[in-house]
Amino acid sequence: MKSFLIAISFFAVSPIHVREQVGGDQEQVRNIAPDDSFPQWSHDGKKVAFTSDRDGDPEIYVMQADGSNPVRLTHASGRDAHPYFSRDGRRIVFQSPRANGKDTNIYVMNSDGSNVVQRTHLKGFAGVPVYSPDEKFIVFQWRESNDFKDDAKWRICMMDADGGNFRVITPGKANDQVPTWSPNGERLMFYSDRTGKNQLYTMKRDGGEVRWLAVTEFNDNAGSWSPDEKKIAFTSDRDGNSELYVMDVDGKNLRRLTHTSANERAGFWSPDGKRLVFASDGDGPSRIFVINADGSGLVQLTGNSK
- What is the per-residue DSSP string for 107-129? EEEETTS-S-EE----SSEEEEE
Quick check: helix, strand or coil at residue 249? coil
Please, are residues 197 and 219 in contact by the beta-carbon 8 Å criterion?
yes
pLDDT value at position 283? Answer: 61
pLDDT value at position 262? Answer: 83
Buried b (16+ CB within 10 A) or exposed e, 196-209: eebbbbbbebebee
283 vs 238: CA distance, rounded Å? 20
Mean pLDDT of successive 10-residue stretches along the chain, which has 306 residues:
33 40 42 78 96 94 96 96 96 97 97 98 98 97 94 97 97 96 96 94 94 90 94 91 92 90 88 95 84 94 72
Nearby residues of 55 by Cβ (< 8 Å), 6 or more positions away: 72
Please, are residues 232 and 217 in contact by the beta-carbon 8 Å criterion?
no
pTM of the model: 0.87
Domain ranges of the chain: 16-300
User: Which pairs count as long-range contacts for 280-285, CB under 8 Å and 24+ apart, including other chains?
Assistant: 281/35, 281/37, 284/33, 285/32, 285/33, 285/34, 285/35, 285/36
pLDDT value at position 62? Answer: 98
177 vs 164: CA distance, rounded Å? 21
Nearby residues of 164 by Cβ (< 8 Å), 6 or more positions away: none
pLDDT value at position 240? Answer: 83
pLDDT value at position 17? Answer: 38
Q: Which amino acid is at 124?
A: G
Class of CATH domain 16-300: mainly beta
67 vs 72: CA distance, rounded Å? 14
